[in-house]
Structure 1
């Protein structure tokens, strides 16, 4: 080896090794101070991409848990309002049964009706004002809404809420045969006279107003099905539906329909068209809602009981749906937490620093740094030996 003064190879070697040691020590200190194995793409490019995707999933899962909890809170708020509505309906039913008793005078029933009127107003107030935050739940505009309960797009569950106003709950289906309209022998003249064309008029009442349509029963028409088809062709747009249920005409109505009055230009014996064999005495209103009941008469009290029973059934059905929705979200939350936990564990394996290993690396680097510094000093001092050759 050449002994020179211009190039100190030993010092250069010691300096290179010391620089490498300092870099390793810096990496160890950075990982120990941040707790992360990957602090930049240079540390692990593929690992950085994987952990970023996992972070997105974890953040989405955690937010989905919060969303689901909000959904449970909304359902609980809705059910609480329905519980109060149920209590009101139970009280109204009690008053209706009391009014139906023959011991009551007209003034007694009127006094009972006054309380019913106030309860009807409170039902509507609850429906109009119940809200979750700024969202009205029962004003009829909630519809069906999606709750984002997943980390990715379109991972949703849905819940629908309708109005529980006094004008929107109550009877929505009833057979004509229960209210004075009956089916006779199809295809024959039930009164022994020649068949005549008759007109049946349906008056439909909703919260927006009233509409009507008429159906003509042809004298030669022997099919109840044809009569049903004629009703549906005009009534469906107004929320009224007809069907032939084993020879009985059954009408159904959407919740928006609060009252339906059926009237006919009947023959003297009350037969609407001999062929279909439908009998009707005068007019009959058989679809109603809680908001239109009147217990100031004995007949009105009896009718109110049926309407309220139907309203209770509607409210109970929706409460059952809300209960099932809450239970579903409980399981959803449990599953989301489980996924988040496992994905977090997987991310930790890639991203987090191993403190035992990094502490060991730091100790090693510190020892090597001290040794390298000492060797660099020795390498620099070795050139002093050249002076001894100069005498």
Structure 2
């Protein structure tokens, strides 16, 4: 369970890095210091990064199962992990709404219209287009952050559960040892006396 969630969190971490780079590009593009050549270069990288975000969402997997795609594991609803020896000891993780919001924010880039020229698929060729993408990236960063925090809360809960299970195991073994193990010195003394 922890490895699966760490894989998803690693994907979110990289998505955050990509989103910050997209924000940097849009910020650079939102200046009249750029010309057509600069806007084209910034826009090309912005679009490539947007495509990589989609690829991460669709292709992040654990044990052959997609994790972040809206139809699989975390995107499909409740993911239940058995965390103890009884049927009641489970951990349910549900970040599907957060993932859907991330996907919506990513998709909105391709249909975003800015004042002046219409932006398609995250491209920008003037200040107004780049400024419109700034809003998109801010929304995207916020949605990724929300999904990461939901997943992180579940990871923290699992860490505490693991610590508690380890504690119960150690104490049960200690109790068993107290009951079952012989006091070697006392038994040797008794044997010698007999």
Per the normalisation by structure 1, the TM-score is 0.40
Is 1:96 matched up with 2:26?
A: yes
Question: Any stretches of 5+ residues in structure 2 without a counterpart?
Answer: 115-119
Is 1:354 aligned with 2:182?
yes
What does residue 162 of structure 2 align with? Answer: 333
The equivalent position to 1:155 in structure 2, one of 89, 104, 116, is 89
Deviation digits for residues 337-366 of structure 1, max 9, x if unmatched?
Answer: 12112222333345x2526476678779xx
Q: Distance in 1 between matches of 2:43 and 2:60?
A: 26
C-alpha distance in 1, partners of 2:58/2:87? Answer: 33
Counterpart selection for 1:87 from 17, 21, 28: 17
Q: Indicate the SS of the match to 1:168.
A: helix
Q: Secondary structure at the match of 2:103?
A: coil
Corresponding residue of 1:210: none
Structure 1 residues without counterparts, runs of 5 or longer: 1-70, 172-256, 262-283, 368-391
1:135-154 superposed Cα distances (whole Å, 9 cap, x missing partner) = 32212211320111122003
Name the structure where helix makes up a greater proportion of residues.
Answer: 2
What value does the CA root-mean-square deviation take over the aligned residues? 3.2
Q: Which has the larger radius of gyration?
A: 1
Mapped partners of 1:93, 1:132: distance in 2: 29
Q: Does 1:77 align with 2:7?
A: yes
In 1, the alpha carbon distance for the partners of 2:142 and 2:33 equals 29
Aligned counterpart in structure 1 of residue 151 of structure 2, from 322, 327, 345: 322
Total equivalences in the alignment: 181
| 8 Å CA contact retained: 1:112, 1:296 | no
Cα distance change of structure 1 residues 102 and 293 upon mapping to structure 2, 3 Å threshold: same
TM-score by length of 2: 0.76
> Are the equivalent residues in 2 in contact too, given 1:123–1:164 (CA < 8 A)?
no
What does residue 123 of structure 1 align with? 53
